[in-house]
Structures are given as structure tokens and as C-alpha cells.
Amino acid sequence: MTVHRVTLIPGDGIGPEIMAATRPVLDAVSVEIAWDEQLAGMTALEEVGTPLRDASIESIRDTGVALKGPLTTPVGTGFRSINVALRREFDLYANVRPAKTMVPGGRFEDVDLVLVRENTEGLYVGFQHVIPVGDDPKGAAQSVAVVTRQGCERVVRFAFDYAVKHNRRKVTICHKANILKAASGLFLEVARDVSRAYAGRVEVDDIIIDAAAMRLVLDRSQFDVIVTTYMFGDILSDEIAGLVGGLGLAPGANIGDRAAIFEAVHGSAPDIAGCGIANPLALMLAACLMLDHLDETPAADRIRSVLEATLHEGQARTPDLKGNATTMGFAEAVLRRLG
Ligand code: NAI
Ligand code: MG
């Protein structure tokens, strides 16, 4: 059996609690993982004096795969986001966010979507300036979006390859090329070019971002895999997380050519840290995405079906899902089913 080497970063706030619930679930399926545990974030700052050690980066460089808890970013002062630093360090250009209905009785049934968001360019490159006008030092402001042909190409190709690998029928390109003719226009042009290589294997269409936001609520039949640029994807990914019940159920993957980092979409939840009631589901689902990435999809599918069954039974839901189970209570219910 292949032994997979994986860097494990428990993270801050509820991170260590949800990681402690997730690890035994991975141990319970027949996949061999050799963990390399590393510190990052506030926890690392307190224990070793820096929020991101070279050793943690070296570990990810070495293993190529990390499972990461949420990391706290201080507001206003203090160090800059470690999540962003890791994304830059490893050029993690594709952010993958699947959203699937798991809790019955919600407002939106049968949601099963995957959003692929470009993760390194667009409006979030950080070309921004405040411009004085007359006496007003902040009379105007400018944020410039930059996209490159190569950047568009690699993320769109990733989305189509993902669709092929996961038997998805279609990729929808979301854009605003009617107004942002330069940046969004280039994205659309490149995306259509890339799609031709997948003709006959994966369907393709495109839609303007605002129409997409509405259709996602009213009629999702058009959508399967969605690919888009950074800011549109940032907004749509929270929308689709909302469709399936919120951040407690949303996993994410940040993927580049040299490394991939898997995590829950939510943050370190300082308001409930240490209380033992955080929902570990999103991190468990992120661990399943990691197993998919490691070509261990049968094990990932087994965990996903057990998670779904556990939620359906309803006895072991955490407070965010209107239950009264603890983090470990949910994990134990999952482990009982995994046998
Ligand atoms: P948050 O996602 O941590 O919390 C928002 C709300 O959702 C809170 O009421 C929290 O209790 C609840 N919540 C989040 N995850 C939950 C879970 N698993 N189970 C039950 N309830 C849950 O967002 P917030 O408060 O904006 O950020 C807190 C910190 O996390 C900040 O320092 C932020 O920078 C960081 N953060 C880190 C991320 C990462 O490492 N990928 C992502 C988002 C935020
Ligand atoms: Mg966001």
C-alpha cells in the first residue's frame, strides 16, 4: 500500500479541535498517511516566535500536500495573512469549492456544484492607490485588475481536467466581458479557446456574473462546474456555500502544480474556540478532497457517505446545525459507522 506523506497544520482557534476530530476518521479508512505535523499562525507565533516558519514551508515543499486548520489573521496590525503567504509561496492558482446538499430539509435541495476560482490574479493582485484630489487626500481611489493569458489558461484547463476526472458533464465560464472588456474579455476568450480541446467530453457555456448569481438561486440546472476569476469566485463561493447550509459544511482546496493545501472554508471561530462544539464536518470534507487528490477516491467516497448518513440520522449534529452534539461526539458517531 502506498504511504502518503502529508503535512498537517492544526491551526488556530477551533483548528486543533476539528483536526483532532478529523484525524481518527482518516485513520479509520484503509489509506496509509505519514503525517508531518507543523505549526503556523498565531499558535506558531506564540510557541516559536514567528507565524510561518521555514520548516513548515519546507515540509509542504517536500510532501506536496497539506491538511490545514484555519489560521487567525490579526486585523489592522500584526502579521499579514499566512493563508495568502502560502498561496503565493506555492503558486496555488486554483481554488476548488464543491458544494453539495448534505443536510435534508434545507431551503435548497439537490445542490451539487463545484466552483473553481482563479486564486492569484484579477482585482486581488493588490494594485491599488488612494489619489489626492484638491485638499482631499483621499479624493479618489484605484484598484486595478490584472489577468494574464497564462493565468487564465491554467485555471480553465484545471477546471476542465477536474470535470473529466470527476465525471462532471459541464463547465460554465462566469465573466463580465460585456463591461470589463479588457480583463474579463481576455478571461472569456482564453476560456473558450481552452474549452475546444475538451469538445465531446465536457460541455461548455458561459454566463455573465450577475445573471449567474440570480440563476444559482432560482434554477441551478444550468450549472455543474463553474470557473471564474478571483473576485467573482470569492462572492459566488460564499453564495453556493449558503445554498447548502453555510460555512460549517464547505470544504476548499488550493491547488498548484507543486503543492496542494486542503482546508475548511471557515475561519478559526474565536467566539467558540475551546468550547468543543465546533462542527468538524467542513474539515472532514476537505480531508476527502485531499484523498481524491491522492487518488484514494474510494476511501473518500466511503467517508462522504458515512458523513451524509450521520447527518441524516440527525442525532449527532453540532449546534450550528441545530443539534447538541460536541465536536468529538460527531466524530464518534462517524467512527461508529465507519466500523
Ligand atoms: P469564522 O469563519 O471563523 O467565523 C464566522 C462565524 O461562523 C462565527 O460565528 C463562528 O463561530 C462560526 N463558525 C465558523 N466555523 C465554524 C464551525 N466549524 N462550526 C461552528 N461554527 C463555526 O470567520 P471570522 O470570525 O470572520 O474569522 C475568524 C478568524 O479566522 C480571523 O482571524 C480570520 O482571518 C480567520 N480566517 C481564516 C481562514 C483560513 O485560515 N482559511 C478563513 C477565514 C477566516
Ligand atoms: Mg471569501
- Res. 128 pLDDT band, cuts 50 70 90: confident
Bridge partners for 226 per DSSP: 115, 172
- Res. 125 pLDDT band, cuts 50 70 90: confident
pLDDT of res. 74: 81
Torsion angle, alpha carbons of 151, 152, 153, 154, to 10: 50
Ligand 1 in reach of 68 Cβ (< 6 A) = no
Nearest CA to ligand 1 atom 23: 267
Stronger pLDDT, 20 or 126, i.e. the higher one? 20
pLDDT at 289 over 70: yes
Ligand 1 in reach of 263 Cβ (< 6 A) = yes
pLDDT at 76 over 80: no
Bridge partners for 99 per DSSP: 113
Nearest CA to ligand 1 atom 38: 267
Distance 65 CA to ligand 1 centre (A): 23
Identify whether the C-beta of residue 66 lies closer than 8 Å to the C-beta of residue 60: yes
Q: How does the average pLDDT of the chain come out, rounded?
A: 94
Give the residue numbers annotated as catalytic, written as ranges.
124, 176, 210, 234, 238
Q: Hey, how many other C-beta atoms are within 10 angstroms of the C-beta on 304?
A: 19
User: Radius of gyration over alpha carbons of the chain, in Å?
Assistant: 20
pLDDT of res. 248: 84
Nearest CA to ligand 1 atom 30: 267
Ligand 1 in reach of 279 Cβ (< 6 A) = yes
Q: Structural domains in the chain?
A: 1-96+247-339 (3.40.718.10), 112-243 (3.40.718.10)
Q: Which of 3-17, 70-84, 290-304 shows the lowest per-residue confidence on average (mean pLDDT)? A: 70-84
pLDDT of res. 167: 94
pLDDT of res. 63: 98
| Nearest atom in ligand 1 to 252's CA | 41
Nearest ligand, CA of residue 236?
2
Ligand 1 in reach of 135 Cβ (< 6 A) = no
Ligand 1 in reach of 72 Cβ (< 6 A) = yes
Q: Quick one: average pLDDT of 207-231?
A: 96
**Among 79, 266, 311, 322, which is best to mutate for testing ligand 1, by the most ligand atoms less than 8 A from CB?**
266
pLDDT of res. 105: 65
Tens digit of pLDDT for each residue in 147-180?
999 999 999 999 999 999 999 999 999 999 999 9
Ligand 1 in reach of 269 Cβ (< 6 A) = yes
Percentage of residues of the chain with pLDDT beyond 70 = 99
Residues 6+ apart with CB under 8 A from 218: none
Q: Quick one: average pLDDT of 99-114?
A: 84
pLDDT of res. 79: 77
pLDDT at 328 over 70: yes
Stronger pLDDT, 247 or 38, i.e. the higher one? 38
Q: Where are the alpha helices (DSSP H) in the chain?
A: 15-27, 42-48, 54-63, 82-89, 149-165, 183-196, 209-218, 230-243, 281-293, 297-313, 327-338
Q: Quick one: average pLDDT of 289-306?
A: 96
Q: Quick one: average pLDDT of 86-92?
A: 94
Nearest CA to ligand 1 atom 24: 267
Q: Which of 28, 43, 41, 31 is nearest to 6 (CA)?
A: 31
Ligand 1 in reach of 185 Cβ (< 6 A) = no
Report the C-alpha gap between 181 and 83 in whole angstroms. 31
Nearest CA to ligand 1 atom 20: 278
**Side-chain half-sphere CA neighbours of 132 within 13 A:** 4
Nearest ligand, CA of residue 10?
1
pLDDT of res. 106: 66
Q: Quick one: average pLDDT of 59-70?
A: 98
pLDDT at 278 over 70: yes
pLDDT of res. 84: 85
